[in-house]
């Protein structure tokens, strides 16, 4: 039965539209229609194809799952072998790589194509006359497994090249991966069904790609990024970066993070800049890859065994590692919060050896069910505190016990209380608990508070344990003689410490308020309080309602502040500190001009400004009644960007936040 011409035309139109939308979504990263609209087009096409099966073609977007489950994967031999990459773990190895390249090519300065190293699975896609014919895993580089049916389910992989005259044959090389968000979602689903969770996105991607039933692969959200070709693309392409541009035209997602850079300095800059943004990227990377950009140069360099001499992978220190929990300690913080901390068998992760990792709070330990004796995944990314991500239940030894938080403070034995609306349990003894007293002293002396250099953890420990110091006011009674008796305290360091304590007497009201360690009062609130009230007496006298006139002070914070000053012990310590000579540089309540365009606005600073230092820019904004925040969100009014701005800049673009340069900021302040 012949199908009406108009129906065949509609089917073709729907396919073209759907492909176009896929391209916008996966390759350009700029969807033009909402998901629901896309789904509607897709359903219409499915219904027409069901009614007119003779119209179905293998490259139709509906035909991503056609195949029945397999019994095993067939082997495929790669037409062009998939080479491996040499690794560099240190800057020195990168410098050596660049030197070898320069010498071999006889050039003083080499241009490289730098790109992220995706932590996924390398695959090769073969297109015959423009249609996806075979997709295979890398295997040993010469033969891999035929996972065509599974790869067809990945919408980021085109079933058909975008070209009117496609080449007879094209091998596209790239990585299949799972985005972090999709990985989290998958593990939530697995957990909900009581099924095994995946240790990381790479394992999840590998497990999904190795499914013999493509219908399962379809339910796993995998994606794909191309990084090269097998045999070279015919034509006049001279650089690797042009090959990638061509792959984009042909319909392949290629990461926007790629960049052409010059010389070893360019390589290392790229490495550091991407490393700093690693956590913000939607996918996991385990390093960056450098390739000689000039294709003739690549050819001239050739290969050693199975790795090209023209490329190298510069690895990041692994962010995750597995180790064993030897114990779970409970630490008591400045506000009495009890924090369970895992004591670990030492493990090298994120570039350092880790022996402790935070377990955050009781609920987290139970949610993850982490037990003494467990083998766990530990994560340390960038400068963040190491944490236990998950336990590997399969490796759990016999007879372990669920963690129980003690009902008494492990330091002072006082009762532990947990209010209903909080995840945190606290020791109720306040400053009578030595642990809280020690933390309070350390906070008081910290750099952004009264900045007493040399008053570190070990010393505070001794001062409190020997009952030499009970409150911050006691610090100002310390003499060299009293200190010299302490362990590891030479006369010289005792002298230095006494001098540092003396110097700390000249401070600002904002630092002083911050130093008091009032719950919920951070640096920025302390500054606002100082500015609004101008003296500690006036703050102490303010009621909760008056306190709430300060920017960002709501009922909870006002309650903490009023509660702190209502406590006679706190008033006494403040009195002693002032009597000891702690004094403030003039901070008269400033008259702000609410008509200033900066007043009440939130700013985020990123990158180096040409004239102002970061502190100067912050001060100027605050002097005009603006706020400075560390991260970009929907609440941000302006991002002030200087040189090499990084992730905050990208976030600002994404959220449509107004971006200013230094001149723009100064104009607003004018
Ligand atoms: O992102 C990657 N994982 C990646 C892998 C990349 N960006 N580029 C790569 N380039 C190559 C050469 C230069 C050998 C074509 C690679 C790989 N190879 C590779 N992936 C797995 C083994 C080798």
Query: Once rounded to an integer, what is the mean pLDDT over residues 437-466?
Result: 92
**Residue 297: which residues within 8 A CB-CB, separation 6 or more?**
101, 105, 110, 310
CATH assignment at residue 237: 3.30.470.30
287 lies in some domain: yes
Mutate to test the pocket of ligand 1, among 78, 83, 84, 85 (most ligand atoms within 8 A of CB): 85
pLDDT score for 590? 61
Q: 281 C-alpha to center of ligand 1: Å?
A: 19
**Residue 278: which residues within 8 A CB-CB, separation 6 or more?**
285, 316, 319, 381, 382
Q: Is the CB of 118 under 6 A from ligand 1?
A: yes
pLDDT of residue 669 exceeding 90, the answer is no
Q: Is the CB of 121 under 6 A from ligand 1?
A: no
78 lies in some domain: no
Do 663 and 564 lie in a common domain?
no
Which three-class secondary structure state does DSSP give residue 304?
A: strand
Structure tokens of 211?
Answer: 């499914």
597 lies in some domain: no
CATH assignment at residue 479: 1.10.150.20
Q: Residue 326's domain spans which residues?
A: 320-395
Mutate to test the pocket of ligand 1, among 228, 232, 292 (most ligand atoms within 8 A of CB): 228
Mean pLDDT of the chain: 91
- Under the banding of pLDDT at 50, 70 and 90, the label for residue 608 is confident
410 lies in some domain: no
Total domains present in the chain: 5
Do 144 and 14 lie in a common domain?
no
CA distances, 62 to each of 45, 46, 55, 65, 66 (Å):
8, 6, 12, 8, 9
Q: 95 C-alpha to center of ligand 1: Å?
A: 20
Query: Once rounded to an integer, what is the mean pLDDT over residues 62-74?
Result: 85
Do 155 and 270 lie in a common domain?
yes
pLDDT score for 298? 96
Do 579 and 630 lie in a common domain?
no
Q: 245 C-alpha to center of ligand 1: Å?
A: 17
Do 228 and 337 lie in a common domain?
no
- Under the banding of pLDDT at 50, 70 and 90, the label for residue 588 is low
Do 169 and 234 lie in a common domain?
yes
CATH assignment at residue 22: 1.10.287.610
148 lies in some domain: yes
Q: Is the CB of 85 under 6 A from ligand 1?
A: yes
Query: Is the pLDDT higher at 380 or at 17?
Result: 17
CATH assignment at residue 350: 2.40.50.140
Do 298 and 331 lie in a common domain?
no
> pLDDT tens digits for 167-209?
999 999 999 999 999 999 998 998 889 888 887 899 999 999 9
pLDDT score for 493? 82
Do 563 and 622 lie in a common domain?
no
pLDDT score for 646? 76
| Neighbour-count burial of 511, counting CB atoms closer than 10 A to its CB (0-12 exposed, 13-18 middle, 19+ buried) | buried
Q: 166 C-alpha to center of ligand 1: Å?
A: 24
Do 578 and 614 lie in a common domain?
no
| Neighbour-count burial of 399, counting CB atoms closer than 10 A to its CB (0-12 exposed, 13-18 middle, 19+ buried) | exposed
pLDDT score for 1? 59
Do 306 and 329 lie in a common domain?
no
pLDDT of residue 518 exceeding 60, the answer is yes
Across-strand partners of 160? 131
pLDDT score for 329? 94
Do 514 and 458 lie in a common domain?
yes
User: Which of 591, 625, 644 is the last residue in one of the domains?
Assistant: 591
> pLDDT tens digits for 330-386?
999 888 999 999 999 999 888 788 999 999 899 999 999 999 999 999 988 666 789
311 lies in some domain: yes
User: Which of 292, 315, 338 is the last residue in one of the domains?
Assistant: 315
Query: In whole angstroms, what is the distance from residue 243 CA to residue 232 CA?
Result: 9
User: Which of 563, 591, 619 is the last residue in one of the domains?
Assistant: 591
pLDDT score for 516? 93
> pLDDT tens digits for 615-666?
889 888 988 888 888 889 989 999 999 888 878 888 888 888 898 999 999 9
Q: Is the CB of 84 under 6 A from ligand 1?
A: yes
Q: Is 180 a catalytic residue?
A: no
> pLDDT tens digits for 142-162?
999 999 999 999 999 999 999
72 lies in some domain: no
Q: Which residue owns the Cα nearest ligand 1 atom 2?
A: 117
> pLDDT tens digits for 268-294?
999 999 998 988 899 999 999 999 999
The DSSP result for 609-669, as a single string, is -SSS-HHHHHHHHHHTT-EEESS--TT--EEEE-BS-THHHHHHHHHT-EEE-HHHHHHHH
Query: What's the pTM?
Result: 0.63
Do 467 and 535 lie in a common domain?
yes
């Amino acid at each position: 039965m012949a199908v009406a011409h108009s129906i065949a035309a509609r089917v073709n139109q729907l396919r073209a539209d759907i492909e176009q939308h896929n391209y916008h979504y996966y390759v350009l990263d700029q969807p033009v229609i909402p998901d629901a609209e896309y789904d509607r087009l897709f359903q219409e096409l499915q219904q027409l194809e069901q009614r007119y099966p003779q119209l179905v073609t293998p490259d139709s977007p509906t035909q991503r799952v056609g195949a029945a489950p397999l019994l095993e994967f067939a082997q495929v031999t790669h037409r062009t072998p998939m080479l491996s990459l040499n690794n560099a773990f240190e800057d020195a190895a990168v410098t050596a790589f660049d030197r070898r390249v320069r010498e071999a090519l006889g050039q003083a300065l080499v241009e490289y194509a730098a790109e992220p190293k995706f932590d996924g699975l390398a695959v090769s896609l073969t297109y015959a006359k423009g249609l996806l014919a075979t997709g295979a895993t890398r295997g040993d580089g010469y033969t891999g497994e035929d996972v065509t049916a599974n790869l067809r389910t990945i919408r980021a992989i085109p079933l058909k090249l975008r070209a009117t005259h496609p080449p007879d044959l094209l091998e596209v090389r790239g990585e299949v991966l799972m985005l972090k968000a999709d990985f989290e979602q998958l593990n939530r689903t697995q957990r909900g069904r009581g099924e095994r969770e995946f240790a990381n996105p790479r394992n999840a991607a590998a497990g999904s790609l190795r499914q013999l039933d493509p219908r399962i692969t379809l339910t796993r959200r995998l994606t794909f990024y191309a990084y090269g070709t097998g045999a070279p693309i015919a034509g006049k392409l001279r650089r690797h970066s042009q090959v990638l541009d061509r792959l984009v035209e042909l319909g392949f997602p290629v990461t926007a993070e790629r960049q052409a850079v010059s010389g070893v300095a360019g390589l290392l800059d790229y490495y550091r800049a991407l490393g700093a943004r690693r956590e913000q990227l939607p996918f996991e990377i385990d390093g960056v890859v450098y390739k000689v950009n000039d294709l003739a140069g690549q050819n001239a360099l050739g290969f050693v065994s199975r790795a090209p001499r023209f490329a190298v992978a510069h690895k990041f220190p692994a962010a995750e590692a597995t180790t064993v929990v030897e114990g779970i300690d409970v630490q008591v913080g400045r506000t009495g919060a009890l924090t369970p901390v895992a004591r670990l068998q030492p493990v090298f992760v994120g570039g350092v050896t880790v022996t402790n990792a935070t377990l955050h709070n009781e609920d987290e330990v139970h949610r993850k069910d982490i037990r003494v004796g467990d083998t766990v995944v530990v994560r340390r990314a960038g400068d963040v505190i190491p944490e236990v991500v998950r336990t590997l239940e399969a490796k759990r030894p016999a007879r372990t016990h669920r963690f129980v938080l003690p009902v008494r403070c492990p330091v002072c034995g006082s009762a532990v209380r947990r209010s209903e609306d909080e995840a945190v349990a606290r020791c109720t003894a306040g400053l009578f608990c030595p642990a809280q007293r020690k933390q309070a002293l350390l906070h008081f002396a910290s750099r952004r508070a009264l900045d007493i250099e040399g008053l570190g953890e070990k010393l505070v420990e001794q001062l409190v344990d020997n009952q030499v110091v009970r409150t911050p006011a006691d610090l100002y009674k310390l003499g060299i003689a009293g200190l010299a008796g302490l362990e590891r305290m030479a006369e010289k360091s005792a002298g230095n410490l006494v001098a540092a304590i003396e110097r700390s007497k000249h401070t600002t009201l904002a630092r002083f308020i911050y130093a008091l360690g009032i719950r919920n009062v951070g640096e920025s609130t302390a500054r606002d309080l100082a500015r609004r009230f101008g003296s500690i007496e006036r703050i102490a006298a303010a009621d909760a309602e008056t306190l709430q006139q300060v920017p960002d002070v709501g009922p909870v914070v006002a309650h903490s502040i009023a509660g702190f000053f209502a406590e006679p012990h706190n008033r006494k310590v403040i009195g002693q500190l002032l009597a000891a000579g702690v004094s403030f540089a003039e901070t008269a309540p400033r008259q702000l001009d609410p008509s200033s365009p900066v007043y009440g606005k939130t700013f985020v600073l990123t990158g180096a400004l040409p004239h102002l230092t970061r502190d100067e820019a912050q001060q100027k904004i605050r002097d005009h009644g603006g706020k400075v925040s560390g991260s970009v969100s929907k609440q941000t009014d302006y991002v002030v960007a200087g040189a090499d701005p990084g992730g905050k800049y990208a976030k600002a673009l994404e959220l449509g936040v107004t971006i200013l340069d230094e001149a723009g900021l100064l104009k607003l302040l004018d």
